[in-house]
Structure 1
Amino acid sequence: MQLDFHYAVTYIVARCAGFDPGAAKIIAHSAQYVDDATNSGTVHFDNGAMYERTSSAHKTFDYRNFKELANHKVWIPFHFLPGNGGSPPGEDPDGSFIEKLVCRPATDNHVADDMIRSAIADRHKAYGLHRFGITMHVYVDTWAHQGFAGVNHPINSVREFTTGDIQNADLRSRLDRFKDRLARFTGGAAPPLGHGEALSAPDKPWLVWSYVNGLGQLVERDNPRDFATAAHRMCMAMQRYLAGDAEAAVTGLTPEDAKQIANMLEILTGDQEERTRAWGEALANGMFSCGAEALPAYIAKGAGSWKHLALGTEAEHDRGNEVFPYRPEFLRSDWKLFHDGLQAHRFDILHDVLPPYGICAA
């Protein structure tokens, strides 16, 4: 999923679930920032203080994508939550270990349920909302990234891609160019990581498509249907967070909100910025039960961004030798709390949530 869903739809659903605008913005910003937090390492301050941050995404052409440990620490906990084949803790799906790592929609994913419980348990911490936004990114991605795994494995291969949206021959050419470029970058064969070979097809809300995976299985995907389900289930998770009870009986989206979101998912094409503006216009026009309001601006990097407000830098990438001016407000900044949430989420997923399923990922 892209900016339009991870930010705009997440904000709208949070408001419909009952969060106030300030809390909804933190959740939505955190959900989208998972894709934009690409810097890692130690932050040094001019008074001698230090802060260790982590990254939750790598750009496509990043050497870290070809280090297995880096993949396990980034792609598995933040983008391709393992589904354990739909089996509960203590049980194994049929097949080899890779079947445990393949991402599955949260409607059939006990791991996703445990992830939600873990995030709700942290709701009273300073970074509670930030962590929950991170969790919402991972949660809805279980629908978009289903069938793929956050490791380099043949199961992620994509062949015989078909869709009514893009001519197959043109897409085949784009995929071949992508693989050639990736092979030149790595100096060898391009490893199948995540949904890289499917390009952005899993993230386009209107797309209906199919492909044959690395196991020779025909996979048919209906993004509008899956994304609509993700929005409804995300609303339920949000209502449980507000209740402080991962088992609370909740209703999710109202039928009217669900229908409006489903309709927009089907008709909105264009690029992610255009689609985000369309969601903002719908919100401003009062088309959802939360009422008419403006969609807050999302600034990933640069002036006005969380990073800029916390560290005083407008740079998109850090060299690693910067020394930033320290201010006491840093400890309460959204940027710092977001990175606290990243670290808490990753630790819990890798060390508490996955091991009962027999998954040792890092």
Structure 2
Amino acid sequence: MQLDMHYYGTWCMARAAGMTPEAATIAATAAQFVDDNAHGHDINLPDGSRIGTLPTAHHCDDGNNLLREDQWHVWVPFHFLPGNEGDDCEQKLQCRAGSQLMRDVIAHHMKQAKKRYGLELMGVTAHVLMDTYSHYGFSGLSSDDNKIVSSSIRLENVEPHLNGYLAEKAEEFTGMTRQIMTWGRGVKTLSSRKNRKWWSVIKTSVTSLVAETLSDGLGHGPALTYPDRPFLKWSFEYKSKANLQMRDNPATFMEGCKALHKLFTDFLAKNPKYADQHTSPVPFKNMKPVLKEIIGFQGNKEDRCEQWCRMAKSGVLFDRPDFIPPYNAEIWKNDLKSLSDLSPANAAKQPVARFFEAAGVHRDYVLWKLMPECGLGNTCKLQ
């Protein structure tokens, strides 16, 4: 999913569940920051202590993104939570919408609701949860099972004014990927000095979007960004399967919003200090007609973000006017830079510091507890 759902949609579901605007902004920022955070260097504090950080994003400026280890530590826990369904390991690693493993993650994280990082952890959880409703059927590891027949893709319901835009984005995506893959032959040796030089040339023209296809069969790269567009109904065929796959993004995104609303409702029951005492929660069923209009709105990412803002401001979404603060990743990134000047107590007051605590809790639970119990885990921990 993209900014419109991970931030603006998350903010609206948190507010509808009864969360204060301030808390909703932190939770929604954490949800989107999962896609924007490529920081992986610990921060030294003046007293000699450290804040551990970890990348949660498809960080294209790091050649390790193409290595199996990085896929395990970033893609799998944060963007393609395994569904644990199927007959073999590769099938079980594929993401599934609202899977039992996702429910296990939520149950575990709810027990952390009153921790100082509890709110940020709900934001991280929201990101992982919503990605299961768009990334299902694909895994976070390079796999032949992720590959599709490109000529089989059919877009069913695109309005005429978007045809050119989607075609341009597809050509941009595939063109850049083709160039990168040509430059990046022998990518598994990117750690060598010679290949680092090539990578420095490549990285200036790479976006986080293109990173998903840098390794053949990684994620939903073969399907371009079609899984992330809320309004799209489309179909395709996997190369490894003969049957046609029908995708109804509006239906699955609606289910995702319902799950998100429940996530925040349950969280506020566990930690009511973030509940808004001045407004009443909005039942999900009351929002469905307006959500259907928002999700079905056909536009680019910026226009879809504005649609959330417009519906909230007009009062039709919550039965009262509300203002969604614009997303600004630079605020947290600047706060991150200033952490090295703070005491541990003051650093812990910063949402971005608590975000890294939450991200660590989530990753460690998924990789070292949940997946091993299913026979899907690593045999060694991250050093």
- Judge same fold: TM > 0.5, yes or no: yes
Q: Which one of 323, 328, 331 corresponds to residue 294 of structure 1?
A: 323
Q: CA deviation at 1:330?
A: 1.5
Q: CA deviation at 1:186?
A: 2.3
Q: Determine the structure 2 residue equivalent to 1:318.
A: none
Aligned-pair identity in percent equals 29
Distance 2:316 2:91 in 1: 41
Distance 1:134 1:293 in 2: 24
Q: How does 1:115-264 map to 2 (within 5 A)?
A: 115-159=105-149, 160-164=152-156, 165=158, 166=163, 173=171, 176-188=174-186, 190-217=215-242, 218-244=244-270, 253-264=283-294
- Which amino acid counterpart does residue 364 of structure 2 have in structure 1? F
- Which amino acid counterpart does residue 161 of structure 1 have in structure 2? I
Q: Determine the structure 2 residue equivalent to 1:274.
A: 303
CA deviation map 1:212-253 (0-9, x unaligned): 1231242211111110110011111221222239xxxxx994
- TM-score, with structure 2 as normaliser: 0.81
Q: Determine the structure 2 residue equivalent to 1:316.
A: none
- TM-score, with structure 1 as normaliser: 0.85
Distance 2:233 2:303 in 1: 20
Distance 1:163 1:32 in 2: 27
Q: Determine the structure 2 residue equivalent to 1:349.
A: 366
CA deviation map 1:37-67 (0-9, x unaligned): 1111122345544322001012356412211
- Pairwise CA RMSD of aligned residues? 2.4
Deviates more, 1:46-55 or 1:277-286: 46-55
Distance 1:257 1:170 in 2: 34
The alignment of Structure 1 onto Structure 2 pairs a total of residues equal to: 333
> Conserved in 2, the CA contact under 8 Å of 1:232 and 1:258?
no
Q: Does 1:283 pair with 2:312?
A: yes
Q: Does 1:56 pair with 2:81?
A: no
- Which amino acid counterpart does residue 241 of structure 1 have in structure 2? F
| Secondary structure, aligned partner of 1:41 | coil
> Conserved in 2, the CA contact under 8 Å of 1:38 and 1:58?
yes
Change in CA separation of 1:280 and 1:169 when aligned onto 2, cut-off 3 Å? closer
Change in CA separation of 1:280 and 1:252 when aligned onto 2, cut-off 3 Å? closer
More helix by share: 2
Q: CA deviation at 1:171?
A: 7.5
> Conserved in 2, the CA contact under 8 Å of 1:235 and 1:252?
no
Q: CA deviation at 1:119?
A: 1.1
Q: CA deviation at 1:348?
A: 0.8
Show structure 1 runs of 5+ residues with no match: 86-92, 246-250, 314-323
| Secondary structure, aligned partner of 1:141 | helix
Distance 2:347 2:168 in 1: 49
Deviates more, 1:56-65 or 1:332-341: 56-65
Distance 1:223 1:237 in 2: 20
Q: Which one of 295, 298, 319 corresponds to residue 265 of structure 1?
A: 295
Q: How does 1:7-18 map to 2 (within 5 A)?
A: 7-18=7-18
- Which amino acid counterpart does residue 288 of structure 2 have in structure 1? A
Change in CA separation of 1:252 and 1:197 when aligned onto 2, cut-off 3 Å? farther
Q: Determine the structure 2 residue equivalent to 1:22.
A: 22
Distance 2:362 2:321 in 1: 33
Distance 1:234 1:354 in 2: 23
- Which amino acid counterpart does residue 102 of structure 1 have in structure 2? Q
> Conserved in 1, the CA contact under 8 Å of 2:141 and 2:218?
yes
